[in-house]
Amino acid sequence: MRTSVDLPVSLSRESADPLSAQLADWLRRAMLDGTLTPGERLPSTRALAAQLEVSRTVVTEAYQQLYAEGWLDGRHGSGTFVADMEAPTPPRETPPPPPPARPEAGIDLTAGQPWVRDYDHAAWKRAWRKAADLPPVASPDPYGLPRLRELLADHLRRARGMAVGPENILVTRGTGNGLDLCALALLGPGTRAGVEDPGYHVARTVFAARGAEIVPCPVDEDGVIVDGLPGDLRVLYTTPAHQYPLGGRLPIPRRERLLAWARSTGATIVEDDYDAEFRYDVAPLPALYGLDPSRVVLLGTLSKTLSPDVGVGWLVGDPALVAEIAGLRRTVADRTSGPVQQAVATLLERGDLDRHLRRMRLEYSRRRAAVVELLGPVCRLRGDTAGLHLLAELPEAVVPAVIERARERGVLLDSTGRHHHGRERLHGLVIGYGSASLADVRRGCRILAELIASEYQAPRPSE
C-alpha cells in the first residue's frame, strides 16, 4: 500500500503558475482520475512540503483552496482527507478567496476578534430565559427597545463620560449596520465620503454600496490628519479612540481641529468607537461626540466587549438625526432583534456586562503586556495603550519576509499594507491579541521576536 507521502507530484519552478496553484491542480486531477480516492488521507502539510522541497505555505495554500472548493475534508486534529462525495463538485468558475491558511500549530494574531471563551454561563442563560419570558411584538420599534436605550445611555455616561439620554440612541445590529444607516441618511450618488487610509474596509464598502465616492484620508501615528481634508466631504469616518489598524489615539488639539473642520465644511463625522472600552495605563480621552454632539454620530458595538455573534450595537447622535435615521430604517425594513435586545438589556441591568468587561480588561492587559515585553526590545511598538491590537513598526522591505516566515511557523498575522488604499506612511505588523490565549500570545511573540531579530536589527534609541 502506498504511504501517504509518496504521491508522484511534480512541480515546475519555471512555470508562471505559483507552486501552490500547480499543486492544487495536480491534486484535483488525481482526485478526478482516481489516483486519489474518497476517504483517502493526504500527507500532512509538513511531510508533503518536505517531499516536494517547497515551503509549508505552498502546501497549506493548496489544501485551503481545495477545502474551499469542497474537494477535501478535514476531521479536526486527525488530518486531511479526500472528500467522500459521489461525484466531486466541480470547482466554481472563480473560486472564492480561501480564508487565510491556518497552519497546524496555528496561533492567530490577526486583529479584529475578541476572546469569547470566558464568559459567565449562568448570566448568559439567565439573560436568555428572561428574553424568552417576553412575547414577540408585531411591530418592532426602529429605535430599539426603550429599556435598552435607557440602559445604554446610562452605560455611555459611566463608561465614556457622555451626556446622553435615550433620545440620542438607536440600537443597531453592530457597527456595520450603524455605518449603513448613516449612509442611508447622509450619503448617496454624487456625495463624497472620507474614510481613513489605512482604515476599516467595511466603512469603504458600505459607503460605496450606497453610492458615495470614497475619498481616502491619510493617517499618521496619532490618527487621521486634519490638514488637507477636502472641504466637500459629506461624511468622514474615523476611529479616534484607537485608529484601526495603526493604533493611534487622536490627541485633544487634533480632535478640536477636526471638529472645527467639520463645523466649517458642514461634514458629519462618523466616530467608530469599536474598542474604546479597553485602554491601558492612560487616562480616557473624551469621545468626539462629547466634544460636539451636533457634528458627530458615534457608533458603538458589543462585538469587541462580548462577541460579534450577539449582533448589537448603538448609534448615538443628535435627536433630530436619530429620528430621521429611525424613519428611514423603517422604509428599508431594517431592525434589531427584540429578544436579543431583551437579553442584552438584562446583562446590562444586572451588571453582568460590567463584570465581564472588568475581567476582559485584566485579561487583555496581560496579553498586551506580553506583546510589549517580548517585541518591545526588537522593534518600535505603536498603538499599545488601547484596544486589542497594536502596530510593530518595521521597514517596508522586512515585512513580507517576517509574515511569510511566521506563517510557516504557525503564526498568522497581518501587515499594515493590507489595510491601505494609497501611499503607506507607516509599515509593520498589525498584531491582534484578542483571540489567542495568553500562552499563545507569548509563544507567537517569541517566534516573531526571533524572526524580527534575524531579519532586521532595529536602530538603538541613541543612534
Ligand X SMILES: Cc1ncc(COP(=O)(O)O)c(C=O)c1O
Q: Which is nearer to ligand X, 43 or 308 (CB)?
A: 308
Is residue 302 packed enough to be buried (19+ CB in 10 Å), middle (13-18) or exposed (0-12)? buried
Q: Is 313 in the site for ligand X (CB under 6 A)?
A: yes
Q: Which is nearer to ligand X, 65 or 175 (CB)?
A: 175
Binding test (CB under 6 A) with ligand X, winner from 57, 175, 341, 342: 175
Minimum separation from the CB atom of position 199 to ligand X (A): 8
Pick from 290, 308, 383, 428 the residue near ligand X by CB under 6 A. 308
Query: Nearest-CA neighbor of 252 among 292, 215, 279?
Result: 292
Least distance in angstroms from the C-beta of 342 to ligand X: 19
Select 166 or 308, whichever has its Cβ closest to ligand X.
308
Q: With binding defined as CB under 6 A, does residue 336 bind ligand X?
A: no
Judged by CB under 6 A, does residue 196 bind ligand X? no
Determine if 57 is a binding residue for ligand X (CB under 6 A): no
Nearest to 304 by CA among 200, 399, 157: 200
Nearest to 94 by CA among 68, 113, 118: 68
Total Cβ atoms within 10 A of residue 93? 5
If one asks whether residue 342 binds ligand X (CB under 6 A), the answer comes out as no
- What is the radius of gyration, based on Cα positions, of the chain? 25
CA 328 to chain CA mean position, Å: 28
Kindly state the smallest distance separating residue 110's Cβ from ligand X, in Å: 10
CB contact at 8 A, 382 and 247: yes
Based on CB atoms, which residue is closest to ligand X, 174 or 248?
174
What distance lies between CA 101 and its chain's CA centroid? Answer: 17
Among the listed ranges 6-14, 300-308, 324-332, 347-355, the one in contact with ligand X (CB under 6 A) is 300-308
The answer to whether 274 contacts ligand X (rule: CB under 6 A) is yes
The amino acid occupying position 239 is T
Contact call for residue 247 and ligand X (CB under 6 A): no
Q: Which residues pair with 272 in a beta bridge?
A: 299
Report the nearest approach of ligand X to the CB of residue 179 (Å).
8
Q: How far apart are CA 274 and CA 128, in angstroms?
A: 25
Q: Is 115 in the site for ligand X (CB under 6 A)?
A: no
Window 376 to 415, contacts with ligand X (CB under 6 A): none
CB of 103 or CB of 245, closer to ligand X: 245
Q: Which residue is nearest to ligand X (CB)?
A: 174
Decide if residue 223 touches ligand X (CB under 6 A).
no
Q: Which stretch binds ligand X (CB under 6 A): 25-33, 173-181, 287-295, 379-387?
A: 173-181
> What sign does the dihedral 302-310-155-168 (CA atoms) show?
positive
Question: How many chain residues touch ligand X (CB under 6 A)?
Answer: 13
Nearer to ligand X (CB atom), residue 69 or residue 272? 272
- Copy the grid coordinates of residue 359: 475581567
Interface region with ligand X, contact rule CB under 6 A, candidates 171-179, 182-190, 282-290, 343-351: 171-179
Nearer to ligand X, 388 or 445 (CB): 388
Select the residue interacting with ligand X from 303, 336, 341, 342 (CB under 6 A): 303
At 319, which helix (H) or strand (E)? helix 319-331
Among 180, 272, 277, 414, binds ligand X (CB under 6 A): 272
Type of residue found at 61: E
Alpha carbons 426 and 392: distance in angstroms, whole number: 10
Tell me the C-alpha distance between 66 and 89, whole Å: 11
Q: Is 112 in the site for ligand X (CB under 6 A)?
A: yes
Give the number of other Cβ atoms within 10 Å of residue 384's Cβ: 22
Question: 321: how many CB neighbours lie within 10 A of its CB?
Answer: 19
User: How many angstroms separate the CA atoms of 47 and 6, rounded?
Assistant: 10
Please name which of 212, 245, 289 lies closest in space to residue 388, comparing C-alpha atoms: 245
Is the CB of 103 or the CB of 434 nearer to ligand X? 434
Q: Residue 414 CB, nearest distance to ligand X (Å)? A: 11
248 binds ligand X (CB under 6 A): no
Q: How far is CA 27 from CA 9, 67, 72, 82, 90, in A?
A: 8, 12, 10, 10, 13
Give the nearer residue to ligand X in terms of CB position, either 181 or 379: 181
- Positions in the binding site for ligand X (CB under 6 A): 112, 174-176, 200, 239, 244, 272, 274, 301, 303, 308, 313
